[in-house]
Structure 1
Amino acid sequence: MAKDTRTRLLEASAQLFREQGYSGTGLKQITAAGGAPWGSLYHFFPGGKEHLGAEAVAHSGARYLKLFDRVFAQADAEVVRSVRDFFHLSVDALERSGWGDGCPIATVALEVASTSEPLRHACAEVFAAWEASIARRLASAGIAEDRAAELAVYVLAAFEGAIVLSRTAHDTRPLRVTADVVAATLTAELPAQR
């Protein structure tokens, strides 16, 4: 099924923001990458680039959450394996993309958190949704809810930080090492491991 123009614009924006940042991406570049006429951008996003950016962040966040759900399902609901697998997907993505395919949310957040309240808010909502999902998974594995919420912050912060370090160094070692440390930490927190 062909994607509608609005979806193509959102996906083109997300890809370009991930690769070259929010400020480094122009609206004409987005419409060209999305195969959309110029006028359609303001039709779907009357608030311009900031409006498009906030919706692209939300769109990307929802897609990554679905990816995490698929990874979790493939790991037969084993939370530690799922988290480790998600880290390793990012290892593969960074290597395949020549270090350009980082987290689309972090890329935008680092750039605009103090300059655009709508974009900061969109990024914060995505991160909160990811944290909540991780916390639910950890709690369902038997970790107390309060502790699961704390560990979810840790997992997400470790993941995002490892991506930044790996992209900067052009080396996946930070992601690989962090995956192992996070997995060991979560394993130690599971009730069956005590």
Structure 2
Amino acid sequence: MKTDERIVMAMTELLRRQGYAATGIKQVVELSDAPIGSIYHHFKGGKRDIAAAALRQSGTAYGELVGMLLAPYDDPADGIEAAFVAAAETIEQGGWLNMCPVGTVAGEIADAEPDLREIAAEVMSSWIDAGAALFTARGLPVADARSLMSAVVSALEGAFIVARTQRSTDAILAAGRAMGCYARALTTQARTEAISQSGEVGR
């Protein structure tokens, strides 16, 4: 693995464990086993630049994972509920460590680090875009698909915080059921409107 890749991986792990403020360059050096000179060679902005790369990389990986969990299901509700169940199992088996640092770091630095906040916003927008495209392909109108994926991202990120605090998967599973209900309502509405429109066309 290249030095810059080790540095970003180390930062990602530290952000997951302890957030942005508590992470120092010395810790990144130790965990990545990279000379401190190489830190500033690859990332001239130091900690902020490494964190930016870590957020983008982990955000991409997390988005791909969620997409893989949702894609096998024709019914959006079934896919969402399965994704939340998988998330609950993973966070419990991982000792309640944050699965993805994007949401946690975004909440921590929203006002203090506007550049990183913008990156986190871009990452979350990419999640919503990808999920909305998948739900649209499953028959939901574009606006409903975006609304659903926005709610899913919000519910999942919030449920992670509650789960880590309570050391319980109850919040994640409850959020998954709630999002499943929302998805079913939107799907039913879309199907009803499609049948209605087809009937009107056939007259």
- In the TM superposition, residue 137 of structure 1 has moved relative to its aligned partner by 1.2
Tell me, in whole angstroms, the C-alpha distance in 2 between the residues paired with 1:77 and 1:7.
36
AA matched with 1:126? V
Check 1:146–1:164 CA distance in 2 against 1; reply closer, same or farther (3 A cut): same
Identity level (%) = 31
Aligned partner of 1:83 in structure 2 is 80
Paired position in structure 1 for 2:169: 172
- Write out aligned runs for 1:132-151 (5 A): 132-151=129-148
Deviations 1:58-109 (A, max 9, x none): 1110111121232234x24543333223222321222122212343101111
Structure 2 Cα separation of the partners of residues 43 and 78 of structure 1: 48
Map 1:69-148 onto structure 2 (within 5 A): 69-73=67-71, 75-148=72-145
* Letter of the 1:49 counterpart: K
| 1:45 is aligned to 2:43 | yes
Displacement, 1:153? 1.1
| Conserved 8 A contact 2:25-2:47 | yes
Give the letter for the 1:177 counterpart: A
1:189 alignment partner in structure 2: 186
CA distance in 2: counterparts of 1:28 and 1:78, whole angstroms: 47
Equivalent residue number for residue 9 of structure 1: 7
Q: Alignment length, in residue pairs?
A: 191
Structure 1 stretches of 4+ moved >6 Å: none
Instruction: Tell me which moved more, 158-167 or 95-104.
Output: 95-104
Give TM-score scaled by structure 2 length.
Answer: 0.87
**Alpha carbons 2:62, 2:100 under 8 Å: kept:** no
Segments of structure 2 that go 5 or more residues without pairing to the other structure are: 193-203
Q: Among 159, 164, 174, which residue is 2:156 paired with?
A: 159
Quick one: which amino acid aligns to residue 34 of structure 2? Answer: A
Specify the structure having the higher radius of gyration (Cα): 2
SS of residue in 2 equivalent to 1:190: helix
How far the C-alpha of 1:125 sits from its partner, in A, is 0.4
Q: TM-score, normalised on structure 1?
A: 0.91
The CA distance in 1 between the partners of 2:23 and 2:94, in whole Å, is 18
Q: Distance in 2 between matches of 1:165 and 1:120?
A: 22
CA distance change for structure 1 residues 48 and 181 in 2, over 3 Å: closer, same or farther? same
